[in-house]
Chain A
Amino acid sequence: MSDPIALTKITIEQDKPPHRLAYIDGFEEPFHYGVHGGVKEFYGVEPETEYPSTLDHIVASAGG
């Protein structure tokens, strides 16, 4: 088996739920995850600040 081409390392810190911060190795500023829209309603939470969900990020990634 060959060596991997890349390893991506990320640290996730829990802020006040449902807000999380994702620190990607090599970048100082974190990405923010949270809930909004239908995901917010699904979980029945009302965050102080709305952020994109992890599912939004997957969909955005698929768009390039």
Chain B
Amino acid sequence: MPPYPDKIKTTVQGTIEAPEGVLKITKIQCHYDLKIPKGKREAAERVLNVFETKCPVAQTLKGCVEFEHSWTIEEYEE
């Protein structure tokens, strides 16, 4: 599934709070807009479901920041 050109866009929102008087990122919500070839939805969702375990940044912040992942998938004819 080619990620480029114009096949993936990610919108990320970080929530910043000060639970102990110091600013801290407490939550990161990631939404992925994907365009994939028709018939590849199952494979794409399999990848999305393990994305966090393969993401160096998520693995670095794991345990400190809560992550939420969501996605919208649009299929196209090849």
B15 within 8 A of A: yes
Complexed CA–CA distance, A53 and B26 (Å): 22
A58 and B3 form a contact (CB under 8 A): no
B57 within 8 A of A: yes
B50 within 8 A of A: no
B11 within 8 A of A: yes
Residues of chain A within 8 A (CB-CB) of B12 are 9-12
Q: How large is the interface on A (under 10, 10 to 19, 20 to 34, 35 or more residues)?
A: 10 to 19
B13 and A2 form a contact (CB under 8 A): no
Choose the segment among B16-24, B39-47, B68-76 that binds chain A (4+ C-beta atoms closer than 8 Å).
B16-24
User: Which residues of A7-63 are within 8 A (CB) of B?
Assistant: 7-17, 53-55, 58
Residues of chain B within 8 A (CB-CB) of A58 are 57, 60-61
Binding site for A on B (CB under 8 A): 3-5, 7-18, 23, 26, 56-57, 60-61
Binding site for B on A (CB under 8 A): 2, 4-17, 53-55, 58
Q: Could you list 6 examples of A-B contacts with CB < 8 Å?
A: A4-B26, A5-B16, A6-B16, A7-B16, A55-B56, A55-B60
